[in-house]
Amino acid sequence: MKKSVFFGAMTVAGLAAGAAAAATLDDVKSRGKLNCGVSTGLAGFSAPDANGEWTGFDVAVCRAVAAAVLGDGNAVEFIPTTAKTRFTALASGEIDMLARNTTWTFSRDVDLKFDFVGVNYYDGQGFMVPKELGVSSAKELDGATVCIQTGTTTELNLADFFRTNNISYEPVPIETNAEAQQQYLAGSCDVYTTDASGLAATRATFDAPDAHVVLPEIISKEPLGPLVRHGDNGWGDVVRWTMQALVAAEELGVTSANLAEMSGGTNNPEINRLLGSEGTLGEMLGLDADFGAKAIAAGGNYGELFAKNIGEDTPIGLARGLNALWTEGGLQYAPPFR
Amino acid sequence: MSTLTDPPKDSFRLSMLINDTRYRSLTFQALAFLALALSFMYLGNNLIANLRAAGLNINFGFLTDTAGYDISQKLVEYSNQDSHSRAAFVGLLNTILVAVLACVTATVFGVIAGVLRLSNNWLVSKLMAFYVEIFRNIPVLIWIIIIFTIMTAVMPAPRAFRGDNATATMVFDAFAFTNRGIYTPLPWFANGIFESQALNWLLVLVVACGSWFAARRVNVWATAKQEATGERPNTLPMLLGIWLAPFLILMLIMGLTWEYPALKGFNFQGGIKIGGPLIALWFALSIYTGAFIAENVRAGIQAVSKGQTEAAAALGLRPSKVMNLVVLPQALRIIIPPLISQYLNITKNSSLAIAVGYADITATLGGITLNQTGRAIECVLLLMAFYLTASLLISLVMNVYNASVKLKER
């Protein structure tokens, strides 16, 4: 009899461990800190600066969520993950959310049991080659040695691209962006391939960025966005709507400069609902009424974050392109806040 | 007078499990076993419950799915349309290749360094001590990365060989040393007896085996003659003939030709490519483990009684003969058991291959496949099974060898 009690207790303990993981929002609140998975260092997206502070476009999403939930954009523990370790870290509960240029794919969403809460950067895979090779199209790369970051969708896209074009290549799988960069610069591979934004970010850190060209072919769709564990929809909603709040803020013209003034109340009800002076949207999420205002205060609206971290005036120098608002011909579009 | 009687044979009571020394140890063993079994059951139960809570299950079906990725070094046919299990097999062969190569070279490095460390020459012995201490006290991962980084930085890229003012040239127009690997000429048979080159090479191997048996017969004959007459006939010309003649004739018949590597497009094409990652990993594992083996060899040699050396010297043997005929055969018995551990270490350390992009089984099955399918538990279980099997096989083979050389007690 004693044994069956023991087993029963164990089963309950096991199930309780599973159930406890479901209420991430409560965990984050009681911990007072958001555990956010980022990359091990990709300039402009997530990299520590000279003072050891994490900065970047993906980091800004973490900070916005922390601000919305905890009221403090600095209450984030940044956990660097490689392409290989990121999913295990999220699935095991080591991190609450993953904001690490991760491509939204069917199998990751469905089979790996994650929920992508949106797209913060529409990207595509490209190729970078040294100018001296004189290559002008990816279709001329027959027989080339290609450096790839292992554990990413880029490996599969690459295999597909070369197979469709009936040309050969030699893959060199590399664990992190930094190592890949070193191999590429030493000439032990001819081509470096990853998401076009990553190529721009990597090239920006070279001594002579002009000696390298990004080829015109974009061989895949790479919608990058933050993700959370499947099954905890409350937490998924928090991250999703925090991110959408940033986009909505840009749509509605709310910036970090006029935020304080607008928080007091405006004559636009949608802005009022977004910033919490009207309605109970924050309460529905289990957050304060002004969660949107706090998220925007952490770094600015979507457009400001883009311009500050990866925009045309930064060394990364990415154009808005697909990531412009829908009103300007891009794909960024926030569902209504009501 | 009191007599010794048998212990009382009264009926078994439950308290005897604790109080009676005959049963006490059994009781504790049973309890310990139960505790162990329960903790394993708890862990397994926990795993299953958590997997169920996350909506996951354990399923090996993904192994038959299309892998979809390419591997640069493949010893068997493989394309990105093959299955994950095929990709794992390619990785497995790569692991075995680098492990076998590294075991051989590490033994060579180790024996040389171990023997030289006992040299009477101060400089040589100190140099070897330096080698051993430097290499075994820095982690092997760091050696792998250092060697790979130096290789890629120092050696020229293939494009340095191009053009009229090329900065690098091929050695003898046949060997190219680049930072992507070493390219050597590939021997092949223009008019082989069989269609497939592999079968032709098998034929060469069969002929070599025949030569080996013939050479053994010659040696046996020479020894018999030596024992009968006291004089050993000179067998060198005969042995040379036995080894070289059939081989040369076979090569002539099958038309041995060499395919030279040549710069074509981005890379050298043709010939054999020994990839940079393989070289770096092989060399790093050999030189690192060689330092450990050197210490084993030194310990083995020093464990042979000094009387043996002195007796051999008294018989008039030269120092090299003393080492080869008297000391080393006895030292081997002591060296082999720790050597097994070193071979196991090499096999397991080869899993660091991914640091330099070498596609071993950890990089394919435990890396890309794991990532693309998200089947972490299944992949890791398979990896554990592979490394365990490989290690046990190496242990088995080496233990058999150990049994054959150890001191025969009669």
B127 pLDDT higher than 90: yes
Closest CA to B386 of B77, B58, B61, B88: B88
Q: Is A213 on the interface with B (CB under 8 A)?
A: no
Interface list for B 120-159 with A (CB within 8 A): 149, 152-153, 157-159
Closest CA to A177 of A201, A141, A159, A208: A201
SS3 at position B305:
coil
Closest CA to A28 of A115, A96, A116, A100: A96
Structural contact between residues A273 and A254, judged by C-beta atoms closer than 8 angstroms? no
Give residue B234's pLDDT band: very low, low, confident or very high (50, 70, 90). confident
What are the pLDDT digits (tens) for B315-325?
A: 999 988 888 88
A14 pLDDT higher than 50: no
Percent of chain B surpassing pLDDT 90? 34
Give residue A15's pLDDT band: very low, low, confident or very high (50, 70, 90). very low
Measured between beta carbons, the chain B residues lying within 8 angstroms of A163 are 80-81
Q: In what order do the strands lie in the sheet with A227-229?
A: A76-80, A34-38, A97-98, A227-229, A114-116
Residue B252 in tokens: 């002539």
- The rounded mean pLDDT for chain A is 87
Q: Distance between CA B374 and CA B65 in Å, rounded? A: 13
Measured between beta carbons, the chain A residues lying within 8 angstroms of B354 are 150, 173, 175
Is B367 in contact with A151 (Cβ distance < 8 A)? yes
What are the pLDDT digits (tens) for B74-121?
A: 888 888 889 999 999 999 999 999 999 999 999 999 999 998 998 889
Structural contact between residues A44 and A121, judged by C-beta atoms closer than 8 angstroms? no
Nearest chain A alpha carbon to B371: A151
Cβ atoms within 10 Å, residue B319: 12
Nearest chain B alpha carbon to A160: B68
Percent of chain A surpassing pLDDT 90? 41
Residue among A12, A172, A175, A232 with most chain B CBs within 10 A, to mutate: A172
SS3 at position B319:
helix
The residues, any chain, with a CB within 8 Å of residue B230's CB and separated by 6 or more, are none
Q: Which residue has the higher pLDDT, B147 or A19?
A: B147
| Neighbour-count burial of B337, counting CB atoms closer than 10 A to its CB (0-12 exposed, 13-18 middle, 19+ buried) | middle
Structural contact between residues B71 and A155, judged by C-beta atoms closer than 8 angstroms? no
Is B80 in contact with A163 (Cβ distance < 8 A)? yes
pTM value is 0.76
A288 pLDDT higher than 60: yes
Least Cα separation, residue A51 to chain B (angstroms): 27
The pLDDT value given to residue A22: 56
Q: Distance between CA B356 and CA B278 in Å, rounded? A: 9
Interface list for B 37-66 with A (CB within 8 A): 38, 41-42, 45-46, 48-50, 52-56
Give residue B307's pLDDT band: very low, low, confident or very high (50, 70, 90). very high
Measured between beta carbons, the chain A residues lying within 8 angstroms of B276 are 188
Facing A159 at nearest CB: one of B68, B179, B370: B68
Task: Tell me if A2-122+224-328 shares its fold with A125-220.
Answer: yes
Is A150 in contact with B49 (Cβ distance < 8 A)? no
Is B152 in contact with A183 (Cβ distance < 8 A)? yes
Least Cα separation, residue A213 to chain B (angstroms): 17
The domain ranges of chain A are 2-122+224-328, 125-220
Q: Is A109 on the interface with B (CB under 8 A)?
A: no
Q: Is B367 on the interface with A (CB under 8 A)?
A: yes
Facing A150 at nearest CB: one of B49, B68, B367: B367
Q: Is A1 on the interface with B (CB under 8 A)?
A: no
What are the pLDDT digits (tens) for B16-41?
A: 888 888 888 888 899 999 999 999 99
What are the pLDDT digits (tens) for A231-260?
A: 899 999 999 999 999 999 999 999 999 998
Q: Which residue has the higher pLDDT, B374 or A135?
A: A135
For A49, phi then psi, to 5°, come to: -85, -170
Residue A16 in tokens: 């309780």
Give residue A2's pLDDT band: very low, low, confident or very high (50, 70, 90). very low
Q: Is A124 on the interface with B (CB under 8 A)?
A: no
Is A88 in contact with B376 (Cβ distance < 8 A)? yes
A288-301 burial, b if ≥16 CB within 10 A, otherwise e?
bbbbbbbbbbbbbb
Is A171 in contact with B71 (Cβ distance < 8 A)? yes
The pLDDT value given to residue B122: 93
Structural contact between residues B218 and B239, judged by C-beta atoms closer than 8 angstroms? yes
Find out if CATH 3.40.190.10 is the number for domain A2-122+224-328: yes
Distances (CA, A) of B183 to A88, A207, B155, B166, B189: 40, 31, 13, 17, 19
Interface list for B 273-292 with A (CB within 8 A): 276-277
Q: Which residue has the higher pLDDT, B16 or A56?
A: A56
Residue B382 in tokens: 């398979």
Q: How many CB pairs under 8 A join A and B?
A: 134
Is A84 in contact with B68 (Cβ distance < 8 A)? no
Residue among A188, A190, A192, A232 with most chain B CBs within 10 A, to mutate: A188
Q: Is A21 on the interface with B (CB under 8 A)?
A: yes
Residue among B371, B373, B379, B383 with most chain A CBs within 10 A, to mutate: B371
Structural contact between residues B263 and B81, judged by C-beta atoms closer than 8 angstroms? no
Least Cα separation, residue B270 to chain A (angstroms): 12
Structural class in CATH, domain A125-220: alpha beta
The amino acid sitting at B254 is M
Give residue B239's pLDDT band: very low, low, confident or very high (50, 70, 90). confident
Measured between beta carbons, the chain B residues lying within 8 angstroms of A19 are 53
Residue among B45, B70, B81 with most chain A CBs within 10 A, to mutate: B70
Residue among B266, B274, B368 with most chain A CBs within 10 A, to mutate: B266
**C-alpha torsion sign, points B88, B93, B98, B103:** positive
Q: Is A107 on the interface with B (CB under 8 A)?
A: yes
Is B42 in contact with A159 (Cβ distance < 8 A)? no
Q: Distance between CA B306 and CA B318 in Å, rounded? A: 15
Interface list for A 254-273 with B (CB within 8 A): none
The pLDDT value given to residue B3: 60
Least Cα separation, residue B48 to chain A (angstroms): 9
Structural contact between residues B97 and B116, judged by C-beta atoms closer than 8 angstroms? no
